[in-house]
Structure 1
Amino acid sequence: MRALAHRNFQVYFAGQGISTLGKWVQQVALAWLAYHLTGSAVLLGLITFLTLAPQLLVGPLAGAWIDRHDKRRLLIIVQALLIAQSLVLSAVTWLQWIDGAFIAVMALLLGLLNALETPLRQALIASFVEDPADLPNALVLNAMLINAARFVGPPLAGGLIAWAGEAACFALTALAFMALLVGLLKVRGSAQPRATGSTAQVFRQGLAYMWQTRNVRQLLVNVVMVNLLASCYAALLPIMAKGVFAGDARVLGWLWGAAGAGAFIATLVLAVGGALPRLRLFTDVGAMLCAVALLGLCAAGSLPLALVALAGVGFGITLSNVSTNMQLQSAAPSDLRGRVIAFYIAMRFGFEALGGMAAGVLAA
């Protein structure tokens, strides 16, 4: 927990924890609302695609752009736009003007904002930790925070949907985003070097570094495979909750929460044993566990077995992804870090988007 000795990281950590919890509440509520209104597996796949695909299409260019600007100021602007998006979604849902087309538009807007917010947030972590030796620990704690929210958020969302409806979930998300905005206004991170040249030149520099560095290239290929073929399970969870196990939004929350529990345990493993020399082993073991757990999910004939299998899927995906992120950020030069993170996030979420779309179409 040594990264929490840095005050700036403490403030960021608190705001990020609340904000991430709100993100998961919104994600579950949006998926349940779409399936509840339309019963369409294709729409579920489309929502996953629209929410994540901008990471693949916009993310790499966004990395080159943010390396040339003040990352903290940019993140404050993006966070304010996320608050506005959640408030609009809440109002339209409460007024019962919502339909499948509007949900798709909101998913696309969320995806575009996340394509900027995620690499900005990741790249800023280094500026909140004065000692570079504490950066890997800060990255693990950040991942632990995200996956703790992934464990708590979906069951919370399921209960909130049943009690107060989806509009209340979206309003709560807006309040959660405000927590990170307030935190960003309070912190002043250490100055980070900015890239020089045009966005196109900066983009090409980052691409050349990743292509010419063999270890980076191998890690990114692994990210593509894991998230294309394993992370796509999330698009089908509303179908499993309602169609397979005859449940409601609470069951959907349990399914998502089980995967989040496995992911949280993976971050604990990395926090305790994630020394840099062992990270490549964790990356490969995580990918293998994904395969085993997905076979278990395929064979699960009851809800408890499905929850265990989903915990295994969440554990494997997170072990592989987070250990990859730690390796990439620890090795990247500081002036290239934003671009490396953006490419990693593009592979991570972009190929999850493609896998989710494919899963929805195949399910239909």
Structure 2
Amino acid sequence: MKPLRQISIFHSFQNRNYRIFFAGQSVSQIGTWMQRTAISWLVYSQTHSTFMLGLTIFASLFPSFLLSIFGGVVSDRFNRHKVLFITQGASMIQSLILTILILTDHYSVWMVIILTTFLGIINAFDVPARQPLVNDLVKNKEELPNAIALNSAMVNLARLIGPALSGITLEFWGAGICFLINTLSFGAVLISLFLLKLPEYKPKTKQKKVVTELVEGFNHLKNHPTLRTVLLLLTGMSLFVIPYDTLIPVFAKITFHGNASTFGLISSFIGLGAICSTLFLASLKPGTDLKYILLINIFILGVGLICFSHITYFPIAMIFVAMAGFGGMTQTTICITLIQVHSDAVMRGRIISFLAMAIFGMLPLGSLLVGAASQKIGPANTILAQGLIALLIGLIFFNFLRADRLKKKDKKVLEMVEDQLIETL
């Protein structure tokens, strides 16, 4: 009989540091999703432009694409714990400025976009430090996939709760209160970082040049086919498929004839599908073929988007948008897990920065592409096309994602043949 820790969905919570970090991040992520939802609604309400929606998301993510590689070097070179104190504190200041501008009604859409750009710069250094830190919070490295899955579940629980709260708050009190709540939520994550008890940080005795460390990271990536292929897959999905949520405010207002609460509700159903996916991943047994599950969920995402695109009956549409949330988050979480597992510890920050570049570089470009395409062919046809592209990407990477499963099958067949030969002899 297997020990409880191997079959419990929450066995990573046995680690004190991970519990504290998880709690602080949970509160902060709800505030973050409230702010994201409020910004999208604010920009669309002021401009009624899908292109401006895409531009806002571009502004929030593209700086991370440009600077994440340097964030990876910082993560590998300095104390990640202290780096997070700085980035989370800076994010709190950004949210506070946004709150003051909105509450005093001294803002323009371009001010919001500039502040969003500033947050993108902060995230370029925050993500490469925060993701590898999870590795340092669990003692038993076999628990890492479970910890990453629970971390994603926490983000997606916030994605479920945050937009719903944001929709209600926008309806009754306005965007400024959403930004104020996000500002206050950073207190939780700063307190959790303060309470962590980590081993004493030992700086590198000899610092290499930044260029040298970047070259080392590229070489590590070049010499590991799994890392390369996973990043290529994630790049394609982030450019052509995942930015479908850029058009959700349009569906809320035009397709479903709703308001801010409708927008928040659709976003929450995406979050519901996403949290179900991460709880599913957290429940998997050690040794499960993650690549094969990734393949299945790419097709789930594609089918969900295709069906959602042209359905105008709200309850049915929410089933398919939840499917899209399930498939989309599963593929992102599995890609993060595969990269963490297959990369060397000394290179992990830089490899995570490549992951961040794949996401933060392609998502903003994809958002611009989606915004422009929707003005030409309409929002419904744009999301239909994204679903078809997801199926195409699944077919392109079909052999890679099934390779491990076929190897195991061949090994099993070989063992059966050997057993039969032994019995015959």
TM-score between the two structures when normalised by the length of structure 1: 0.96
Structure 1 stretch displaced more, 190-199 or 234-243: 190-199
Distance in 2, Cα, partners of 1:191 & 1:348: 32
Q: Is the CA contact 1:37–1:100 (under 8 Å) kept in the aligned structure 2?
A: yes
Distance in 2, Cα, partners of 1:149 & 1:94: 24
Gaps of 5+ in 2: 1-9, 376-425
Residue 96 of structure 1 corresponds to: 105
Distance in 1, Cα, partners of 2:295 & 2:285: 14
Q: Do structure 1's residue 210 and structure 2's residue 224 form an aligned pair?
A: no
Partner-residue secondary structure (3-state), 1:66: helix
1:283 is displaced (CA, Å) by: 1.6
Residue 2 of structure 1 corresponds to: 11
Residue 61 of structure 1 corresponds to: 70
Q: Do structure 1's residue 12 and structure 2's residue 21 form an aligned pair?
A: yes
1:194 is displaced (CA, Å) by: 6.1
Q: Cα deviations across residues 225-257 of structure 1 (Å, max 9, x unaligned)?
A: 222222111111111111221111100001111
Tell me which of 55, 75, 79 is aligned to 2:88: 79
Q: Cα deviations across residues 137-158 of structure 1 (Å, max 9, x unaligned)?
A: 1111101100111111111110
Distance in 2, Cα, partners of 1:314 & 1:34: 23
Distance in 2, Cα, partners of 1:335 & 1:68: 9
Q: Percent identity?
A: 28
Distance in 1, Cα, partners of 2:175 & 2:188: 21
1:301 is displaced (CA, Å) by: 2.1
Q: Do structure 1's residue 354 and structure 2's residue 365 form an aligned pair?
A: yes
1:193 is displaced (CA, Å) by: 7.2
Residue 130 of structure 1 corresponds to: 139
Q: Cα deviations across residues 53-74 of structure 1 (Å, max 9, x unaligned)?
A: 1222211221122210111111
Q: Do structure 1's residue 299 and structure 2's residue 304 form an aligned pair?
A: no
The aligned amino acid for 2:73 is: A
Closer, same or farther in 2 for the Cα pair 1:193/1:347, shift >3 Å?
farther
Partner-residue secondary structure (3-state), 2:13: helix
1:213 is displaced (CA, Å) by: 0.7
Q: Cα deviations across residues 31-83 of structure 1 (Å, max 9, x unaligned)?
A: 11111112121110001111111222211221122210111111101111111
Distance in 2, Cα, partners of 1:362 & 1:194: 49
Closer, same or farther in 2 for the Cα pair 1:51/1:164, shift >3 Å?
same
Aligned residues: 364
Partner-residue secondary structure (3-state), 2:317: helix
1:191 is displaced (CA, Å) by: 5.3
Distance in 1, Cα, partners of 2:12 & 2:325: 25
Distance in 1, Cα, partners of 2:290 & 2:203: 29
Residue 170 of structure 1 corresponds to: 179
Q: Do structure 1's residue 318 and structure 2's residue 332 form an aligned pair?
A: no
Structure 1 stretch displaced more, 303-312 or 147-156: 303-312
Residue 246 of structure 1 corresponds to: 257
The aligned amino acid for 2:194 is: L
Residue 232 of structure 1 corresponds to: 243
Q: Is the CA contact 1:9–1:129 (under 8 Å) kept in the aligned structure 2?
A: yes
Residue 50 of structure 1 corresponds to: 59
Structure 1 stretch displaced more, 225-234 or 147-156: 225-234
The aligned amino acid for 1:352 is: L
1:275 is displaced (CA, Å) by: 3.3
Tell me which of 159, 164, 175 is aligned to 1:155: 164
Tell me which of 341, 344, 363 is aligned to 2:355: 344
Q: Is the CA contact 2:63–2:121 (under 8 Å) kept in the aligned structure 1?
A: yes
Partner-residue secondary structure (3-state), 2:78: coil
Residue 415 of structure 2 corresponds to: none
Q: Cα deviations across residues 4-32 of structure 1 (Å, max 9, x unaligned)?
A: 11111111010000011111000000111
Structure 1 stretch displaced more, 160-169 or 286-295: 286-295
Distance in 1, Cα, partners of 2:214 & 2:73: 5
Tell me which of 180, 183, 186 is aligned to 2:192: 183
Q: Cα deviations across residues 128-173 of structure 1 (Å, max 9, x unaligned)?
A: 1122222221111101100111111111110011121110100100
1:293 is displaced (CA, Å) by: 1.3
Q: Cα deviations across residues 84-134 of structure 1 (Å, max 9, x unaligned)?
A: 111110110011112111111011111111121122111111111122222
1:190 is displaced (CA, Å) by: 3.4
Distance in 2, Cα, partners of 1:341 & 1:31: 27
Distance in 2, Cα, partners of 1:315 & 1:190: 36
Distance in 2, Cα, partners of 1:42 & 1:197: 43
The aligned amino acid for 1:204 is: V
Q: Cα deviations across residues 254-286 of structure 1 (Å, max 9, x unaligned)?
A: 111111111111101101126344111122122
**Which structure has the greater CA radius of gyration?**
2
Q: Is the CA contact 2:71–2:126 (under 8 Å) kept in the aligned structure 1?
A: no
Q: Is the CA contact 1:227–1:352 (under 8 Å) kept in the aligned structure 2?
A: yes
Q: Is the CA contact 1:206–1:340 (under 8 Å) kept in the aligned structure 2?
A: yes
Partner-residue secondary structure (3-state), 2:283: helix
Distance in 2, Cα, partners of 1:56 & 1:169: 27
Q: Is the CA contact 1:43–1:100 (under 8 Å) kept in the aligned structure 2?
A: no
1:299 is displaced (CA, Å) by: 2.4
The aligned amino acid for 2:309 is: C
Distance in 2, Cα, partners of 1:6 & 1:73: 20
